[in-house]
Structure 1
Amino acid sequence: MSFIDICYPTVTTPNLLQIVLKGIKRISFQGCMTQLFFFNFFGSMEYMLLTSMAYDRYVAICHPLSYHLMMNIRTCGSLALITWGLGFIAAFPLSVLISSLCFCSSNEINHFFCDLTPLLTIACDDTSSVEYVIYGEGVLFVFSCFLLTLISYIYIISAILKIRSSDGRYKAFSTCASHLTLVVLFYLMIACMYMKPASSYSLDEGKGLSVLYVIVIPMLNPILYSLRNNDVKEALKRLLLTH
């Protein structure tokens, strides 16, 4: 997660800074397609990794005595490898299909990086094949990951409610609170960005949401996970009290 949180903003943020600070608004076609691939690659890895982490929380809460047996190094390594592999499978076909389109009407992208919707907007060719792949991957990857995460948390919440002591419930909930916060933020941004009718989608609105999606959320990840550390909590309390 830490590695993805570094790589994901790195794909788009340097280009944004170049536009804002230097006024350089050009990008080569090869650079645009490369940016598109890695943006989809790391984005796909993000929600797949969040799904793997949901399973980890499920095992920790629902099967605590078997946790070290079930979540051993081999299992964690396999989940990480699957995440990388599926991320590539999700990103590669879209990059190939979009790079084969003809962009004859305009070479201006109404965005600060090469995203799917702005590129499809300026394409002259029939984009139905790309749209079918986007919808197919949405169902196959995004919806499946969301469903698996939702099922994991149904079991987790059910197990937490069965704990009799309030301290036990608080401890169990704190184990998955940071992850749950990230899941809600991540899928909320996906819903706002890509799960809207084409007629109601605004590229200007999309640019604003993209800043939250590709910069703010990865920046919040280490903060939210650090709050599980008691030393960080105490340091934050002292900082707030002194001010």
Structure 2
Amino acid sequence: MESKDYLLSELKTIEKWEKDQKSVWFWERLTRLPFKLLDKVTPKFIQTKIGSLLDELGSYIQNGGQYLTSEKSIFQFYKKKTGRNINELADLKDVPLEEMKQASLDLGGRRKNAATLQGASTGIGGIFTLAIDIPAILAISLKTLQEIAIIHGYDPKEKKERVFILKCLQFSTADYVGKGAILNELSEFGKDERKSSEVISQIQGWREVTLTFTESFGWKKLFQMVPVAGILFGAFSNRSMINDLAETGTMLYQKRRILERLEKVSSPVNE
């Protein structure tokens, strides 16, 4: 177990990151405009595909649906990266935080490369292949966050954990106002069962996630009207999205583990 001073230092680093996330660049605001402008002229089959994500995310919240990932593959990945034998989820709860963080970032790098190829391949067809790209990048996003959850010893098979994962997804695509609100919602998540239940009950959030997720494709829609530009921009957009998502997942799951360990080292039993 890490020392209390180390845990507090790491927590301070994450809190600084959270504060930085709440600031917003003019460019970020601007990138949300094309979605609203172009939505009126977006082909109906793309709007239908985007709408179907609502049902898919609802299914994910309830039972994991088609997006639920395999623990075994993460255990193997973790062993390959660290040499540590992991046979069950509980084995990951007490591993060093730095080890968890590095494994999460390495895994995020792999998913980032997969997303880059996905974006480039669907960019070939311009705006019409966006109907394929959006659900594909959603699948990569959910898989990435579930894998980071497992690395930190949390179980995506639990409904509560899937809610936290969707909140991470929502955070990574939200504007600065949304980021602040989500951080407030998650501040007591897992510590206070009543607060956790409130977050779950508000998971109309999966509809909010879909909205912010599709809004983040605003510029991508614009550039994918030109097929050749869509190849380059599709690759860049997907890579950037998964990079931000992996960072978000790593930071928020690190924070949960840090707070839990601080509670342990500060409890009367340990004093």
With the length of structure 2 as denominator, give the TM-score of the two structures. 0.29
Larger relative contact order (C-alpha < 8 A, sep ≥ 6)?
2
Structure label with greater radius of gyration: 1
